């Protein structure tokens, strides 16, 4: 169980020295706090697989803010830099285990077709054999695609949040090697 203020601290920390836009919308802030509680702080999806999924979605969406936040969480949960580099490539099969390949494929389908194909959904069901956990995984994948859309629109500053630029190597999917606000 997490501290009931941890989600609020995450939001405030991400805002840096400026007030969070969520401060002006208490209902939306409550939703985002619930989101963090549900999917990150108390989520039931395997942490490693969740982080690999989110990283793939952030990479494919060219979303440096979410990438940097989740890179830290991924490393803390045991994801190696080799696995991180694998989710950056199209030819990730040899570098990932079976479960990781399935969740990366699921992330790709969310990006490319907007849903999981029946084959991928069934493969995810083999990994997440509890229907509640499987459903949570689908929400994570679709939800973090939504988050990438929001963050690519609002463009929070990686610099202001004191986040690293596309760790571990510092090069984004578009080849950028420094943030636009550096």
- Residue 86 and residue 5 share a domain: no
Question: Does 176 map to a domain?
Answer: no
For residue 10, what are the domain limits?
1-42
pLDDT tens profile 128-173: 999 999 999 999 999 999 999 999 999 988 888 889 999 999 999 9
Residue 4 C-alpha from the chain's centroid:
22
What's the structural domain count of the chain?
Answer: 2
Instruction: Identify whether 181 is part of a domain.
Output: no
**Is 83 found in the same domain as 13?**
no
- Residue-wise pLDDT for 36-68, tens only, equals 999 999 999 999 999 999 999 999 999 999 999
User: Rounded CA gap, 116 and 112, in Å?
Assistant: 10
């Amino acid at each position: 169980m997490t501290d009931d203020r941890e989600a609020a601290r995450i939001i405030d920390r991400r805002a840096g020295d400026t007030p969070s836009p969520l401060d002006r919308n208490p209902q939306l802030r409550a939703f985002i706090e619930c989101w963090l509680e549900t999917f990150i702080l108390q989520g039931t999806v395997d942490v490693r697989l969740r982080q690999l999924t989110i990283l793939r979605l952030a990479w494919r969406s060219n979303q440096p803010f979410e990438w940097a936040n989740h890179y830290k969480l991924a490393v803390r949960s045991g994801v190696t830099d080799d696995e991180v580099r694998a989710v950056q490539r199209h030819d990730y099969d040899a570098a990932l285990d079976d479960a990781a390949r399935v969740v990366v494929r699921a992330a790709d389908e969310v990006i490319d077709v907007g849903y999981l194909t029946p084959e991928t959904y069934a493969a995810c069901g083999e990994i997440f054999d509890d229907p509640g956990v499987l459903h949570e995984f689908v929400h994570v994948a679709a939800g973090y695609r939504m988050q990438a859309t929001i963050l690519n629109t609002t463009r929070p500053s990686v610099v202001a949040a004191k986040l690293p630029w596309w760790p571990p190597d510092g090069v984004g999917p578009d080849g950028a090697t420094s943030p636009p606000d550096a």
